[in-house]
Amino acid sequence: MATRIMESEFQPKEVVEEPTRPALRLVRSDDPYAELERPAPGVASRGVHPNVLVALVGFYAIMVGSFWAFFARDAAAAGVLVVVTLFTVMYFSLIVGGILLADSAAPGERQRSLGEFLRGPVEILAGTISGREATMQILLLPAAMMTLAAIIGVIARLS
């Protein structure tokens, strides 16, 4: 059985390039963060309350403060604490910046109060949990670390 091959099959096909997306620009004259912001309707009534995130950062700040209060005895220790403080600031700057640029409440959407958050639902990847449970999951470890850092600092200072 003979097959017939056409010459057109061997001709190079015209390559069509898809238009490229413009590079992400962080500075614009009208709104520098317009391309980064993602309004998500309903996030103010389903997401984590901002006060819980402020408490999270506060617990870590108190922990680093207790390190400074109890362990900054000489220049070497202070140098290590400077590095720890810088890493903590960088870490939380990235987290807070990511939160600010992530799903944000739609314009005009009312943020629920902290009490409503604690009594209401919070959406997570696996489904829905209560606000109290979300708060415990977010704040329990940092609160324990803050408390233990202070206890260890007091013991180290007294011994």
Q: How does the average pLDDT of the chain come out, rounded?
A: 83
What are the residues whose beta carbons fall under 8 Å from the beta carbon of 75, sequence distance 6 or more? none
Section 111-123 average pLDDT: 91
What is the pLDDT confidence band of residue 133, given thresholds at 50, 70 and 90?
Answer: very high
pLDDT band at 36 (very low <50, low <70, confident <90, very high): low
pLDDT digit string, tens, across residues 40-94: 777 778 888 889 989 999 999 999 999 999 999 899 999 999 999 999 999 989 9
Average the pLDDT over 14-28 and give the result. Answer: 57
Instruction: Fill in the DSSP letter of residue 47.
Output: S
* pLDDT at 128 > cutoff 60: yes
Structure tokens belonging to residue 122: 């919070």
Closest-CA residue to 46 (of 142, 122, 102, 98): 122
Q: How confident is the model at residue 7 (pLDDT cuts 50, 70, 90)?
A: low
What is the value of pTM for the model shown? 0.69
- How do the domains of the chain map onto residue ranges? 49-97+112-158
